[in-house]
Amino acid sequence: MAGGNAIRGSRVGAGPMGEAERGEAAPRHRVGFWCANGHESRIAFAADAEVPETWDCPRCGLPAGTDQQSPPPAPRTEPYKTHLAYVRERRSDADGDALL
């Protein structure tokens, strides 16, 4: 039994047309970025685009830089502080006893 949809399995715009139909692609160059874990990411940028200093590593999420020998350090994450920890930073134990 034949299927009812003639374009099943294809998408809009798919077909035998090539670069002549879509136009020429912009000139590009690839730039290597390395993270602190040693992962390398080769990102393609347009030839006239400004290359950023850092790029997020797609494998681990750490910041990656263009210098393989000294990649940017991992961002320092502060542990979660409770309300009591913030109060203790502002007041001494003697101040707390005087208030209570």
- What is the secondary structure of 46-69 as a DSSP string? ETTSPPPSEEE-TTT--EEES-SS
The domain that holds 64 is classified in CATH as 2.20.28.270
Mean pLDDT score, 10-34: 75
Residue 58 lies in a domain: yes
State if pTM tops 0.85.
no
Residue 96 lies in a domain: no
Residue 10 lies in a domain: no
pLDDT (0 to 100) of residue 56? 95
- Token pair, residue 43, equals 């990102």
DSSP 38: -
Q: Which helix (H) or strand (E) holds 4?
A: none
Residue 46 lies in a domain: yes
pLDDT (0 to 100) of residue 4? 60
- Token pair, residue 34, equals 């390395």
pLDDT (0 to 100) of residue 26? 83
Question: Poorest-confidence range of 4-8, 25-29, 40-44, 81-85?
Answer: 4-8
**Structural domain range at position 37:** 26-74
The number of domains in the chain is 1
Residue 52 lies in a domain: yes
Mean pLDDT, the chain, as a whole number? 83
